[in-house]
Structure 1
Amino acid sequence: MGMLVFDGLRESLKSARVVSKARRKWKHWRSGRDTQAALSWLARERDAALQELEHLRERYLRLEKRAIERNLVEPCRALFVYPEQEDVPKHSLPIGAGNSVTKQARGRIVWNGLSDDQAFHLEMECLRRVGDSQVSLDGRCHFPQLLTWDATARSFTTTHNGTPLDKLQRTVSVPDIEAQLSSIAMTLEKASVAHLDIAGGKNVTVDEAGTLCLIDFDIACLDGFPLSEKIQRRYEAFLAAGGYVGFVEELRKATLENPMIEPS
């Protein structure tokens, strides 16, 4: 009996050593894999940062003759002036006020070339402008409405305006599609906002009533002034495609080619 117990313990110990050795090998392999991923990520961040520095250098050289007249230290803050919270225009919400979404603005140097602060101010200003410039005659709201924000945390809360087109699970009837698309484009043009990230419909939502809404302004251009090299390239493509006319075509394509959208 004692020998059986001893043999059992010996086999268990042997198995434990094998498992331990395998775990050490796996951890070593994983560490190496993560190191390579980290180095690759750092390389992308470095290249993106260098592109943004070159972009800023070229812009400074173009503006140098006006350097005394304008404050070039914090151009972002000088550009974006939004109202005090109590002065936000009160629109009738298309949905219940409790149905909202909170977002924290983040700058991603590889994706949009912005700092956290720039990303926050850019999206806040875009939402403020389109909120003030709505041209829809039927009372529909085609953009998220600002509810609250926290500049310190760079977060804000807006109305939730439906499901992204690329996430639809069932057919939705959308009335007056052309009128809605036209209203969206006219509002953007009136507000001097160029939305540069339709992304195949992921940034376009639709609610139960069939109202289309444009969301996520973290890649956008205000007054023809791109804040980063990444946004400048997108804006140049926007202009080459026909500006707001081309934007409507892209928006129409993302909407009408979605099999879950049913024009009515």
Structure 2
Amino acid sequence: MSLIDYRGNCHCGAFKFTFKAPELKQGHACNCSFCSKNGYLWGFPAADFTVVKGDEETTLKTYQFGKRTMVHKFCPTCGTTVLARLPSADGSPQIGINIRALRDVDLEALEVVTNTKGASTEPLYQVPEPIATGTVPEGSTVYHGSCHCGAVRYALVNPDEITAAKSCNCSICSRDGVILIYPETTLVTFAGADESVTEYTFGFKKGYHGSAPIFPPDNLLSSSRFCKICGTPIYGRAVGVSPELDTKTSLNIRTMDGLDLALVEVTMADGKSYPGVYDP
């Protein structure tokens, strides 16, 4: 079988790599607590995995959980979950790549094959303690969520049940695998965000991120925010993008506890088509 040269990078470009593999027609998902929160799509290099910028041990940050046999690695600057080192059946080291970090791969064309045993693997994941919400208005629904390690937790008191959300194919959203809703910021309470969240913005640096049109007023800011311990993308904010978005938080519902994503209608925003070329 012929091998194709693939290249990839974290979003900010601090870590870049190449490898060879048969044409990627499948992405392997997992329903474990970490992969589901991060929207991981696994691919496995066949040969010649080479780091062309940065260093796997110093540029990337590591995170482990459960039995601690697998070492997940993400960029501490932009939050992109890049790869994991794991033992193979014969005990030799193996590398798994997050396909979301690859260039020139049509994620929407991939067949997604899901491992449904991840969530039941011992030791079972312990959901972080929820935040107290106080008095909840009649008819509202309370949703709790967190990053994987639990350093950052939140509670959303939503006027309605969550039945619809948005994904996006822009360079940052596709790497993070986020599925977003946009509640009013006043409805979301965070714990641990001041201590454990890293904010990342790019492009104009006071410019564009996500699915809003580009325009460069001085007060325009959009960013993604992720846990600096486990790398989980949790939420984002926008200032100056539009009056509607300025008062809202973009919340990644993959990080919600107990929410069945199969019951949520997810529509795709075509952020990739907006002006501006992503070239890290």
Considering fraction of residues, name the structure with more helix.
1
Structure of larger gyration radius:
1
Provide the TM-score with structure 1 as the length reference: 0.25
Considering fraction of residues, name the structure with more strand.
2
